[in-house]
Amino acid sequence: MNNFAYVRPNDVDSALALIRSRPKARFLAGGTNLLDLWKMGVEQPQTVIDISRLGLTDIAARPDGTGLRIGALARNSDVAGHPLVVSQYPVLSRALLSGASPQLRNAATMGGNLMQRTRCPYFYDPAFPSCNKRNPGSGCGALNGYNRNHAILGHSDQCIATNPSDMNVALAALEAQIRVIGPDGERVIPMGEFHRLPEDHPELDTTLQPNELITAIDLPPMADTKHAVYLKVRDRSLYAFALVSVAACLAIENGVIGSARIALGGVAHKPWRVPEAEALMRGVTPDRSICERVADRLLQGAYAYRYNRFKLTLAHRSIVRALTVAAAAS
Ligand code: SF4
């Protein structure tokens, strides 16, 4: 049993003052990940700052009238069903609805989903002694252990974990911007720079600084909403994390691709994008051969371990499938 203080500020300034002044403090939003980690003993906060009274739940056009701004405390289910999201960002709605269960989506927030930690079993269970993410310098139990759900891209010998979120994959393809506030004021982090690869510091999942709070997610306008797909492959059809997922957003005019934004989930420590692969699609008429070439380029350098070799083929086929379906949509 670890004793802790519970506080519930009414505004952002108070929340920031609390996180600055209390050691080992954690923000609590929907609690769908923090409480699990806490019960397992992975997290042991001394102060829990309940941010549920901060507002930050609006979903509306950005102040300049373009795109969309989604409050960090908007619930996943509210965002997935919001008319502006369904009509303008269907790939985000589909990704959210493919994650977790209805009960969890009703509780989970957008900011919390961004901060969701890996589901690597060696990380979740402190009975396993080796996990560099949980205990830096202790080794990686998954390297020579059961690594079926682990990364094939961007990993290091320090950590081969994957980011478990569906939402993050869609946000990467949509080139979302994450608005945060901290002691030095507000800043905006491009989605591609929000999550990080493990390198030598797998204990760090994101580039968010310790005393910063996520306030909103901005989405730029989408030129073409028709040719957007979120494909998730998993062991069962509900309540399972992705083995591989693909968010593909194509802009097609007169049968020719103007732009392609493709993000992969379930394969790396962060949503995986390769600009050179996307550039291959620009200015071409979509067919199977270009989809195959894009898949080859997206997976260039992929390396699998004992139990996740199947992901190499699965990821390739999933990319080709998602691009084919996105291109054919009408
Ligand atoms: Fe820990 Fe990462 Fe290794 Fe899993 S893959 S045991 S999270 S260091």
CA of 144 to the centre of ligand 1 (A): 11
Q: Report the distance separating Cα 131 and Cα 139, nearest Å.
A: 5
Q: Per-residue pLDDT tens for 139-168?
A: 999 999 999 999 999 999 999 999 999 999
Q: Return the ligand 1 atom nearest residue 134 CA.
A: 1
pLDDT at 140: 98
CA of 118 to the centre of ligand 1 (A): 9
Binding site membership of 268 for ligand 1 (Cβ less than 6 Å)? no
CA of 269 to the centre of ligand 1 (A): 10
Q: Which of 116, 120, 124 to mutate to test the pocket of ligand 1 (most atoms within 8 A of CB)?
A: 120
pLDDT at 330: 76
Q: Report the distance separating Cα 302 and Cα 319, nearest Å.
A: 14
pLDDT at 2: 83
Q: Can you give the C-alpha Rg of the chain in angstroms? A: 20
The residue length of the chain stands at 330
Q: Which of 117, 119, 125, 131 to mutate to test the pocket of ligand 1 (most atoms within 8 A of CB)?
A: 131
Binding site membership of 277 for ligand 1 (Cβ less than 6 Å)? no
Contact 73, 215 (CB under 8 A): no
Question: HEC states along the chain?
Answer: CCCCEEECCCCHHHHHHHHHHCCCEEEECCCCCHHHHHHHCCCCCCEEEECCCCCCCCEECCCCCCCEEEECCCEHHHHHHCHHHHHHCHHHHHHHHCCCCHHHHHHCEHHHHHCCCCCCHHHHCCCCCCECCCCCCCCECCCCCCCCCCCCCCCECCECCCCCCCHHHHHHHCCCEEEEEECCEEEEEEHHHHECCCCCCCCCCECCCCCCEEEEEEECCCCCCCCEEEEEECCCCCCCCCCEEEEEEEEEECCEEEEEEEEEECCCCCCECCHHHHHCCCCCCCCHHHHHHHHHHHCCCCCCCCCCCHHHHHHHHHHHHHHHHHHHCC
pLDDT at 92: 98
Task: Single out the residue of 316, 285, 282 nearest to residue 298, CA to CA.
Answer: 316
Contact 109, 73 (CB under 8 A): yes
Q: Which of 37, 119, 133, 270 to mutate to test the pocket of ligand 1 (most atoms within 8 A of CB)?
A: 133
Q: Return the ligand 1 atom nearest residue 160 CA.
A: 5
Contact 251, 257 (CB under 8 A): yes
Chain centre to alpha carbon of residue 297:
22
Measured CA distances, 84 to 9, 57, 69, 329 (Å): 30, 14, 10, 20
Q: Return the ligand 1 atom nearest residue 155 CA.
A: 5
CA of 299 to the centre of ligand 1 (A): 22
**Any idea which residue has 């989809």 for tokens?**
291
Handedness of CA 200, 302, 170, 310 (dihedral sign): negative
What is the side-by-side order of every strand in the sheet holding 25-28? Answer: 5-7, 47-50, 25-28
pLDDT at 1: 66
Contact 2, 44 (CB under 8 A): yes
Residue nearest to atom 2 of ligand 1 (CA): 159
Q: Which of 42, 118, 122 to mutate to test the pocket of ligand 1 (most atoms within 8 A of CB)?
A: 122
Q: Per-residue pLDDT tens for 244-267?
A: 999 999 999 999 999 999 999 999
Q: Return the ligand 1 atom nearest residue 140 CA.
A: 3
Q: Report the distance separating Cα 39 and Cα 36, nearest Å.
A: 5
pLDDT at 276: 98
Q: Which domains does the chain have, with CATH numbers?
A: 5-53 (3.30.43.10), 228-328 (3.30.390.50)
Residue ranges for the chain with pLDDT beneath 70: 1
The tokens for 251 are 């802009």
**Any idea which residue has 């806490």 for tokens?**
38
- Answer whether 0.85 is exceeded by the pTM: yes
What is the side-by-side order of every strand in the sheet holding 244-253? Answer: 228-233, 244-253, 256-265
Q: Return the ligand 1 atom nearest residue 147 CA.
A: 5
Binding site membership of 151 for ligand 1 (Cβ less than 6 Å)? no
